Amino acid sequence: MKDTESTCPKSRQRGLLIDHVGDETIIYDEERQEAHSLNRAATLVWQNSDGARSISQLAALVAAELGIESNESVVEYALDKLESAHLLEDSSVSRRDLVKRMTFAGAAAVVLPVVLSIATPTAAMAASQNDQGQDNNKQGQNLPSQP
């Protein structure tokens, strides 16, 4: 029997900056200094993972919003990607069990949830690069011209 946490996932809300661009959601994780781009399907799963909705309820919601057949595998895939990006609260969804259960068919594969992540430089890293570039430019400016 599954525990409540795995059947009713909860999205992480703390330490995140969130912006919506068209159908995508951009999430910046201040703790990990990573940015994530969620497509519409992944956004729907993340926004509606409130700790009260089950995977089957999330699947029905996503299906209604996207006009597709309800498919729990799509939601499970999204949850796996969201968990990998640290966008869920202490999820206990087993990746091994998830991979065994995932089956995609027809239209479900077209709306596959996507979470793209990139690491962003810290302010100190950006300043360090900038300082080196400025120092090199200053040194080059002070060199005497060649005859």
The residue written with tokens 């995609």 in the block is: 104
146 inside domain = no
147 inside domain = no
129 inside domain = yes
49 inside domain = yes
Count the domains in the chain.
1
105 inside domain = yes
**Predicted TM-score of the model (pTM):** 0.67
108 inside domain = yes
CA distance readout (Å), 115 to 67, 102, 127, 135, 142: 21, 17, 29, 38, 48
pLDDT at 90: 73
pLDDT at 113: 72
Domain carrying residue 66: 4-141
35 phi and psi, to 5 degrees?
-110, 145
Tens of pLDDT along 19-74? 999 989 999 999 999 999 999 999 999 999 999 999 999 999 999 999 999 999 99
pLDDT band of 126, cuts 50, 70, 90: low
38 inside domain = yes
- Per the CB < 8 A criterion, the answer to whether 2 and 93 are in contact is no
